[in-house]
Amino acid sequence: MFQGETAITIDDKGRLAIPTSYRDVVAQACGNRLVLTYNPFESGSLYLYPQEVWERVRDQVNALPRTKSVSRTLQLKLVGAATFLEPDGSGRIGIPASHRNTVGIEKKAVLVGMGDKFELWSEQAHLAQIRQTLDDADLGDALVDLQL
């Protein structure tokens, strides 16, 4: 559904314009109802889900036992921090300051389509992640069975 990476700018009000190439897909996929939350696996980025996909993820996370520390942490990072967003008439969504500040997103960011969701990265964190991935010797082992 979503793929590719797009360099974007966050305006002074904390808004980003959804790239025009994604606007129709977002409208069709979820009626412009999106959910923003933290990426629980990597700092420097946020997840941006279509609402329907988010609801499945939310339900799975909430079904985890709250008595386990790792489950509770996941519930706090994903469900507790979730924010509903809807693009305005110009295709912009407002990213809350608390989310931007926590992951270090300032003016420059990168929106990455990851199939069923987007990842929104600070420009610096995205660059570091890509460099690390390119230098990862174990990546070849993971790709051995794929026909690329």
How many domains does the chain fold into?
A: 1
148's CB contacts (< 8 A; 6+ apart) are none
Neighbours of 120 (CB within 10 A): 26
Instruction: Note the pLDDT of residue 132.
Output: 80
Q: Is residue 92 part of a domain?
A: yes
Domain boundaries, position 60: 2-137
- For residue range 61-76, what is the model confidence (pLDDT) as tens digits? 999 999 999 999 999 9
Q: Is residue 147 part of a domain?
A: no
Q: Is residue 21 part of a domain?
A: yes
User: CATH no. for residue 24?
Assistant: 3.40.1550.20
Q: Is residue 88 part of a domain?
A: yes
- For residue range 78-118, what is the model confidence (pLDDT) as tens digits? 999 999 999 999 999 999 999 999 999 999 999 999 999 99
